[in-house]
Structure 1
Amino acid sequence: MPRVLISFVHMVEALNYRVGRLAMWSLFALMGVLAWGAIARAGFTPQIWTDEMAQFLLLGYFILGGAYSLQMGSAVRMDLLYSRWSDKTKAAVDAITIFTLLIYLGVLLWGGIESTQFALEYAERRRGLWRPYMAPIKIVMCIGIVLMILQCTAFLIRDIAKLRGITIKERAV
C-alpha cells in the first residue's frame, strides 16, 4: 500500500476522532438550552428559540458525530453470516457496501451543497416565530457529510489493503 494512502487513513481517522469527541460536548449545550426552555416555561415567559435551537444542536451532534460513530464500530451490522466469513470475504463485502455508501453520500453532499447555496443566496430562514437563518445548520450538515465521505474512503482503503494481504495498523490518536 502506498505510504500516502496509509497517511491519509491515519489523518482522516485522527480528524474524525477529534471532531467526534468535540461533538460529544455539544450535548451539554443541548441540555442547557432544554433546561433553560423548561425553566422559562415554568417560571416566566416561554422562550421561542429554545425548541429550534435544541433541534439544531441535536442535528449537529448527530451529523458531526456520525463519522466518529462509524469509526468506533457503532454502526449496526446484520451478523447472520458476517461473523462466519473469513477476513478477506468480510473485506470484500465491506468494500462493496462502503462503495455503495460513498455513492449515496456523494448524492447527499451534492444536494446539501445546492441547498446551502440557496440558503446563502436568498438568506433562507426557517418558518415560525423565531425565524433563524438556515445557512449555518446546512453548512454543518455539509461538513458532517464530508467527514463521513472521508471516513468511508479510509474504510475502503483499509478493506482494499486487507484484500491484498496488508494490514494498516491503528494509530493512537
Structure 2
Amino acid sequence: MSFLKTFIIFVDNLNDWMGKILGFLIYPTMFILVYEVIMRYAFNKPTIWAHDTSCMLYGAHFILGGAYALRWGAFVNVEVFYQRFSLRTKAVVDLVTWMLFYAFVGILLWKSVPWAWASVMVQEYSNSPWGPPVWPIKLTIPVAATLVLLQGLTKTIKDFYIAVTGRELFAGVATEVTEDN
C-alpha cells in the first residue's frame, strides 16, 4: 500500500506542478492576440505569425491541462444523479465508467505516439506563410495522454479503495468518511 500512496502523491504533485506552470501560457497567448488586433485594426498591418503562435500556445495549454483538470475533478458528471449517491456508490459508478476513459486514452496514446514521433523525426513545419515548427505541439498530445493516464490510474486506485473500504484515500492518508458524504 505504501507504493500506491507514493505513486498517488507523485502523480498528483506532478500534475499540480504542470497545471500551475501551464496556467501561465494564457498570458503570452493573450498578449499575442491583443498585439494582433492592435496591429490589424489600428495600424492596418496584420502579422503572419500571431494566429499560428496563439493556436499552438492555446493548444498546448488546453491539452496538457487535461491531467490537472482530472486531478481536481473539473470534468462533467451527470450531477443531478451523481451528487445524491453515497461516497461508496460514486466510487463504484466511477470504476465502471472508467472503462470508457481507459479505452479513449489508450487509443489516443496508440495513435498519437507514432504520429508525433514521425513529426519529430522529420522536424515537421507548418505550411502556413510563417512556417513554424509543428512537431513540438504534436509531441504534446502523447505527453498529455500519458499525464492523463497516470492521473486516471490514481483516480481508479482511490475509487477502488473507497469501494472496498468505504474510506477515502486522500494525499496518501486514509481517513474515515461518513456514508452520507
User: Above 0.5 in TM-score?
Assistant: yes
- Structure 1 match to 2:33: 34
Superposition RMSD in Å: 1.5
Deviates more, 1:74-83 or 1:53-62: 74-83
CA positional deviation for 1:114: 1.3
Alpha-carbon separation, structure 1, partners of 2:23 and 2:110: 27
CA positional deviation for 1:116: 0.7
Alpha-carbon separation, structure 1, partners of 2:9 and 2:97: 21
Question: What are the Cα deviations for residues 77-128 of structure 1, in whole angstroms up to 9, with x where unaligned?
Answer: 1123222222222111101222320221111012111111221233322232
Deviates more, 1:162-171 or 1:145-154: 162-171
Q: Which runs of 4+ in 1 moved over 4 A?
A: none
CA positional deviation for 1:44: 5.5
Alpha-carbon separation, structure 1, partners of 2:159 and 2:71: 14
Alpha-carbon separation, structure 2, partners of 1:57 and 1:67: 17
Pairwise mapping of residues 1-173 of structure 1 onto structure 2 (< 5 A)? 2-41=1-40, 42-43=42-43, 45-165=45-165, 166-170=167-171
Runs (5+) with no aligned partner, structure 1: none
Deviates more, 1:105-114 or 1:83-92: 83-92
Contact 2:117 2:139 survives alignment (8 Å): no
| TM-score, L = length of structure 1 | 0.91
| TM-score, L = length of structure 2 | 0.87
Alpha-carbon separation, structure 2, partners of 1:120 and 1:169: 38
Count residues in correspondence: 170
Percentage identity across paired residues of the two chains: 29
